[in-house]
Structure 1
Amino acid sequence: MKLQSEGLKEFLPAAMCLVLSFIFLLIMNFTPNGKTELAVIFPPGTSSETVFLKTIEAGGYATGKGGFENIALFIVDDLDTQKQVIENLYDLGALVVIDGIASAGCFS
């Protein structure tokens, strides 16, 4: 008689493959890819005012806020400065910077 836990061992590799594939697709879809509209997420508890000020300090132009106070949508002047603005945001404490268009539904 086969134990139920042995059946789970057979299922585990397929489940891990599914989870890793899903994570990979999320990263590919949400990573900034040359578009100028981005979203920045700061640590929970960061005020909207602080998020906007840090976004402006990094070189971005805040265009809106997300569903939480620690999230802001912003644009950059051009694609040449986008990488520098993203690096500046990380230096100022941002947790993540992602594609604002792909992630818009998550933040509204």
Structure 2
Amino acid sequence: MAAEIITKEDLQLFKSELIHELRELIALPSSKAQGKKWIKSYEVREMLGISPGTLQHMRTNGTIPYTKMGGLVLYDIEDVVKLMEDAKKSAKKPQAMS
């Protein structure tokens, strides 16, 4: 068996490539990376970190658009991402002093 020596430079290069690929994966929602346009309720709840009741409330008050086909509720991935971006922007706005 021939031994192969791994140098610090090899490990540094591997680390850089791995971090780059992970950032690309994190930057895209998982379903968008798979090319899906419509996602199911459980996927929305996972993306937003919310409960089924909260998602129902968001549908009821019009916070999140949806489409119903038979008994299945579907959401456009772009609408969910926009909702996340809007929440991120509003969280960054400085609070007005009273």
Q: Same fold (TM over 0.5)?
A: no
Question: Greater relative contact order: 1 or 2 (C-alpha under 8 angstroms, separation 6 or more)?
Answer: 1
TM-score, structure 2 normalization: 0.41
TM-score, structure 1 normalization: 0.39
